[in-house]
């Protein structure tokens, strides 16, 4: 039952996010903001596919324990693409609110993203092992969480200051995604049921994408 339900959920998620992303790229009508948002959605879905498709295959065949290396590779790739997702979201913020300058902020974003990707590339992560160390799961997620925090604060402040109703909850979708993700990183290996939090985390990302899509439909008529 888990295999069927999880596979269906993941399929709906991947198809929905990638489809919405393509629709945004094609329907942006010259708006670089929404074209970029569409690219961001496709990166999100395509990156997650590297992890979710092997997971679904493993669940529907001989079990997760027999595909450790493939699942590890998928997590590795997804860790990088999720970092790129937040860098793109930062640029969506810049374009939507017509932000100029602030090179120091941009440098900080790139430093955090670069550090995150560098940490993900370290062999100590043991991506292909069934007993990957928790410590490195924490290390690589520190700059990632800081990057997310930066984006949260930026969207919260800008949407509030400019009365942007379309994006007023963007910050909350990111808060929720990290709120559900962090317990999985810390405790899922000890308490497997905590892994179920990845479902609401995924729903939070769908909400993120839908915010952009709805804004495009309203503003690109």
Predicted local distance difference test score (pLDDT) of residue 131:
87
Predicted local distance difference test score (pLDDT) of residue 216:
96
Predicted local distance difference test score (pLDDT) of residue 73:
94
**Considering only CA atoms, which of 71, 43, 55 is closest in space to residue 11?**
55
pTM: 0.94
Predicted local distance difference test score (pLDDT) of residue 89:
98
Q: What's the CATH code of the domain at 189?
A: 1.20.1070.10
Predicted local distance difference test score (pLDDT) of residue 148:
97
Q: Which domain holds residue 146?
A: 2-219
What is the radius of gyration, based on Cα positions, of the chain?
18
Predicted local distance difference test score (pLDDT) of residue 59:
85
Alpha carbon distance 92, 155 (integer Å): 10
Ordered per-residue pLDDT tens for the chain, 221 residues: 777 888 999 999 999 999 999 999 999 988 999 999 999 999 999 999 999 999 888 888 888 788 899 999 999 999 999 999 999 999 999 999 999 999 999 999 999 999 999 999 999 999 999 888 999 999 999 999 999 999 999 999 999 999 999 999 999 999 999 999 999 998 887 888 898 899 999 999 999 999 999 999 999 87
In DSSP notation, 116-168 reads HHHHHH-GGG-TT-TT--HHHHHHHHHHHHHHHHHHHHHHHHHHHHTT-STTT
Other Cβ atoms less than 10 A from the Cβ of 214: the count is 12
In DSSP notation, 1-16 reads -HHHHHHHHHHHHHHH
* Contact in structure between 59 and 7 (CB atoms under 8 Å): yes
Predicted local distance difference test score (pLDDT) of residue 67:
87
Predicted local distance difference test score (pLDDT) of residue 190:
83
Number of domains observed in the structure of the chain: 1
Measured distance between the N- and C-terminal CA atoms of the chain, rounded to whole angstroms: 44
Joined together, the tokens standing for residue 89 give 């979201």
Buried b (16+ CB within 10 A) or exposed e, 117-155: bebbeeeebebeeeebeeebbebbbebbbebbebbbebb
Cβ-based neighbours of 76, under 8 Å, separated by 6 or more: 120, 125, 127
* Contact in structure between 164 and 214 (CB atoms under 8 Å): no
Predicted local distance difference test score (pLDDT) of residue 136:
95
């Amino acid at each position: 039952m888990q295999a069927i339900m999880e596979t269906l959920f993941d399929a709906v998620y991947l198809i929905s996010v990638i489809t919405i992303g393509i629709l945004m790229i094609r329907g942006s009508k010259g708006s670089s903001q929404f074209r970029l948002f569409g690219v961001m959605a496709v990166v999100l879905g395509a990156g997650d596919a590297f992890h979710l498709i092997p997971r679904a295959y493993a669940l529907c065949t001989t079990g997760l324990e027999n595909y450790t290396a493939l699942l590890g590779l998928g997590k590795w790739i997804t860790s990088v693409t999720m970092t790129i997702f937040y860098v793109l979201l930062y640029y969506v913020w810049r374009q939507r609110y017509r932000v100029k300058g602030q090179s120091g902020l941009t440098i900080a974003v790139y430093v955090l993203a670069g550090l995150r990707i560098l940490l993900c590339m370290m062999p100590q992560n043991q991506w292909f092992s069934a007993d990957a160390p928790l410590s490195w799961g924490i290390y690589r997620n520190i700059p990632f969480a800081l990057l997310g925090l930066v984006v949260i604060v930026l969207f919260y402040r800008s949407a509030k200051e400019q009365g942007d109703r379309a994006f007023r909850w963007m910050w909350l979708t990111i808060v929720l995604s990290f709120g559900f993700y962090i317990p999985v990183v810390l405790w899922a290996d000890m308490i497997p049921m905590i892994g179920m939090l990845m479902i609401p985390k995924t729903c939070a990302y769908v909400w993120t994408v839908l915010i952009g899509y709805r804004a495009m439909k309203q503003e690109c008529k």
